[in-house]
Chains A and B, each alone.
Chain A
Amino acid sequence: MFDVSKLSEMEIDALKELGNIGAGHAANALSQMLGRYISMTVPEVEILEISKLEEKFGEEVVAGILTALQDLEANNSGFLYVMFPMDSSKKLIKTLCGSEDIDEMGISALMEVGNILSSSFCNATAEFLNIIMLPSPPNFAMDMTIAVIDAIAAQLAEKSDYIILFETKLHDGEELSAYLVLIPDMKFFENIMELLRGMQ
């Protein structure tokens, strides 16, 4: 069994690079869609105890789009979670639909943005690792971050007490921000580490 709480500096750097590539492509896609310049922060890799998730995310309400990642044999290999804070959600909806209302139409627009972001993230990382990753259709929820994430955490919790988070913030100046969180399951994570080691 792979011990995630004892990753070396180098391994974490390799993971960051992987997140960087994915997030870079996602930022590019968002920028094309909105016709704006989008910048991104250097991805953070965090290994979090599941019971500490509450401290990390607090009670903020966000719009979240969740996709499950699968390989060719339809084995679940993790989740990709795109979050927009409420004010950013409204701005996105306004840019895309004209009104700020979070109605069916607005939600659908948000889901589409999330879908494009997660697909481009997926594509880029899969290409980099030379593996196949198929994203599921998006699942949408608007609630407290933890309430959204706990069903996924429960899935992973059956096997591990830790979850691995890649976190990147995309933003255009001060107006819009989005968070990308990749939550690989243990097997997928081990695969990633193996592939990355092979490259070095």
Chain B
Amino acid sequence: MIPLSKNKDDVVYLSVNLRRIKALVSVDVNKNKVTVLSCTKKNQCLYEECFEYCEVAISARNYVTGKTPKAEIKEVGGEVLVGIGEYRVGVGIILKTIGLGSCVGVALYDSHENVGGLAHVMLPGNSSNGNTKYAGTAIEKMLNDMEEMGAKKRRIVAKLAGGAQIFKHMTLDVLKIGDRNIQSIEEKLEDEKIKIVAKDVGGSVGRSIFFNTFDGSVLVRYSNGGEKWL
């Protein structure tokens, strides 16, 4: 039996690489139940919905029960939810933030040390009292924390998602904050000489983000059911 780093709910998160399919699954160890959080093959899959006899699910279950799985499997640590206007950093965990409308998710990653950070930025500009709701302040603090965990600034790259314009019919200008958020974040990252390697911003659909600090991949899940890997 492979020792698993269980969290309190006895759920393990696995990243599965099966042939050309890349998936992120959670396994409830007690019930032996596999939930596919995301899968690169979802749209071309034979089965319309994920179910337990899918090869990905079987591999994940085999891994948990100690059998040799067909797929290449890496265990990722627990899942941490990043609240609105907050940021979190960690090594080998999944950072998640949900319901990004005009807010922007900023994922920073040092692939050498597997140190990642995710911020849920609400407002453009900087805060005078260190409040992480603001783009500049959040990025600055997150960079400091990551460097304390062993990351090197020159290796850190960024991925962005969010900043949508959710309202279809709009009469209030104050709601157009998404673009300003993105602009502010891009300026701050440029000042800090951090390269943006991927972004999925703008549009009119809300997003949730899963940031896998094991390999730096970012899954963007849209409120209309669509998905995109960054």
Instruction: Judge whether B98 and A150 touch: CB under 8 Å.
Output: no
User: Beta-carbon contacts of B97-138 to A below 8 Å, as 1s and 0s?
Assistant: 111111100000000000000000011000000000100000
Q: Tell me which of B9-17, B38-46, B160-168 binds A.
A: B160-168
Instruction: Judge whether A151 and B177 touch: CB under 8 Å.
Output: yes
Question: Is A42 in contact with chain B by the CB < 8 A criterion?
Answer: no
Chain A minimum-CB-distance residue to B123: A154
Question: Is A136 in contact with chain B by the CB < 8 A criterion?
Answer: yes
User: Beta-carbon contacts of A52-81 to B below 8 Å, as 1s and 0s?
Assistant: 111101110100001010000000100000
| A147-B101 CB under 8 A given contacts A53-B84, A157-B85 | yes
Question: Is B223 in contact with chain A by the CB < 8 A criterion?
Answer: yes
Instruction: Judge whether A157 and B175 touch: CB under 8 Å.
Output: no
Instruction: Judge whether B103 and A137 touch: CB under 8 Å.
Output: no
Instruction: Judge whether A139 and B101 touch: CB under 8 Å.
Output: no
Instruction: Judge whether A54 and B98 touch: CB under 8 Å.
Output: yes
- Choose from B99, B164, B175, B208 the contact partner of A57 (Cβ within 8 Å): B99
Instruction: Judge whether A137 and B171 touch: CB under 8 Å.
Output: yes
Instruction: Judge whether B103 and A144 touch: CB under 8 Å.
Output: no
Question: Is A138 in contact with chain B by the CB < 8 A criterion?
Answer: yes
Question: Is B1 in contact with chain A by the CB < 8 A criterion?
Answer: no
A148 to B166, CA, bound (A): 6
Instruction: Judge whether B208 and A144 touch: CB under 8 Å.
Output: yes
Interchain nearest-CB distance for A9 vs B (Å): 28
What count of chain A residues pass the 8 Å CB interface test?
37
Interface core residue of B83, B164, B166, B171 (most chain A CB under 10 Å): B166
A162 to B221, CA, bound (A): 28
CB contacts (< 8 Å) of A151 on chain B: these are 101-102, 166-167, 174-175, 177-178
Q: Across the A-B interface, how many residue pairs have beta carbons closer than 8 Å?
A: 116
Chain A minimum-CB-distance residue to B103: A150
Residues 145-188 of A contacting B (Cβ, < 8 Å): 145-155, 157-158
Bin chain B's interface residue count: 20 to 34
Chain B minimum-CB-distance residue to A61: B223
Question: Is A190 in contact with chain B by the CB < 8 A criterion?
Answer: no
Instruction: Judge whether A147 and B174 touch: CB under 8 Å.
Output: no
| A54-B122 CB under 8 A given contacts A151-B174, A157-B133 | no
Instruction: Judge whether B167 and A147 touch: CB under 8 Å.
Output: no
A160 to B122, CA, bound (A): 13
A143 to B102, CA, bound (A): 12
Instruction: Judge whether A146 and B84 touch: CB under 8 Å.
Output: yes
Instruction: Judge whether B85 and A146 touch: CB under 8 Å.
Output: no
Interchain nearest-CB distance for A107 vs B (Å): 7
Instruction: Judge whether B83 and A150 touch: CB under 8 Å.
Output: no
Question: Is B170 in contact with chain A by the CB < 8 A criterion?
Answer: yes
Instruction: Judge whether B172 and A153 touch: CB under 8 Å.
Output: no
Chain A residues packing against B (C-beta within 8 Å): 50-55, 57-59, 61, 66, 68, 76, 107, 111, 136-155, 157-158
Chain B residues packing against A (C-beta within 8 Å): 81, 83-86, 97-103, 122-123, 133, 164, 166-172, 174-175, 177-178, 205-208, 223
